């Protein structure tokens, strides 16, 4: 399935905290899979076909939505009970959101308004390859913080768009490859290899 053919049913809500107000978008259905922390300052996990599609759409949406917090909760009931599964939040840095506020914002979420989100083909075109991270002028990087059992990623549009070409490739070509070679390890690295996700099909 082409990425621009995917539509996501999402809950959209304005959450107020003091004088501030934040628009939060989250899928109606939680993602199946998991993201867990490792001991080496990176995060690993697994996603199925539907979670991968949702992640790709949400990643592109976050890049183009500087006024919205994109919240991707994982289905903890489907995960290993002995593993602490992290949810994922994607935030454009223009929002200047402090991750320490996330727990309070999440606690105020309600049903919200149900919307269907679909993006044009142009939204999934990948950006330029990242400059070497040791260059001081390279500021378009994704910052990560774990807050309230959530991996909060904050970055510019450029930073998020760097991963779109790879996301598009695995979403559109991964299912057929996995069906033909079920034993093959299919994976994707996101946010400058901060996150490593294995595609498990289904």
pLDDT confidence of residue 92: 97
Helix H or strand E encompassing 61: helix 49-63
Q: Which residue from 143, 109, 132, 129 is spatially nearest to 24, judged by alpha carbons?
A: 109
Helix, coil or strand: residue 120:
coil
pLDDT digits (tens, 9 = 90+) for 122-151: 999 876 555 544 444 456 789 999 999 999
Q: How many Cβ atoms from other residues are within 10 Å of residue 140's Cβ?
A: 18
pLDDT confidence of residue 76: 77
pLDDT confidence of residue 39: 66
Query: Residue ranges of the chain with pLDDT lower than 70?
Result: 39-40, 78-83, 127-139
pLDDT confidence of residue 201: 76
CA torsion, ordered 146, 150, 151, 152, to nearest 10 deg: -90
CB 123 within 8 A of CB 117: no
Q: How many Cβ atoms from other residues are within 10 Å of residue 184's Cβ?
A: 11
Predicted TM-score (pTM) of the model is 0.91
pLDDT confidence of residue 181: 92
**Dist. CA 69–CA 97, nearest whole Å:** 9
pLDDT confidence of residue 11: 98
Contacts (Cβ under 8 Å, ≥6 apart) of 40: none
pLDDT confidence of residue 159: 95
């Amino acid at each position: 399935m082409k990425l621009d053919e995917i539509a996501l049913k999402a809950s959209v809500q304005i959450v107020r905290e003091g004088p501030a107000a934040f628009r939060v978008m989250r899928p109606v259905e939680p993602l199946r899979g998991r993201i867990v922390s490792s001991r080496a300052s990176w995060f690993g996990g697994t996603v199925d076909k539907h979670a991968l599609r949702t992640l790709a759409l949400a990643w592109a949406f976050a890049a183009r939505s500087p006024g919205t917090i994109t919240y991707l909760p994982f289905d903890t009931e489907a995960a290993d009970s002995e593993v602490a599964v992290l949810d994922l939040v994607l935030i454009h840095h223009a929002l200047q959101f402090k991750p320490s506020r996330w727990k309070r914002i999440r606690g105020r979420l309600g049903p919200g308004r149900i919307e269907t989100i679909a993006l044009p083909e142009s939204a999934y075109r990948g950006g330029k390859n990242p400059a070497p991270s040791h260059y001081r002028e390279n500021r378009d990087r994704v910052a990560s913080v774990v807050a309230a059992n959530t991996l909060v990623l904050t970055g510019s549009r450029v930073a998020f768009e760097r991963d779109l070409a790879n996301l598009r490739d695995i979403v559109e070509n991964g299912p057929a490859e996995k069906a033909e070679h079920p034993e093959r390890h299919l994976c994707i690295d996101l946010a400058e290899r901060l996150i490593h996700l294995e595609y498990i099909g289904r």
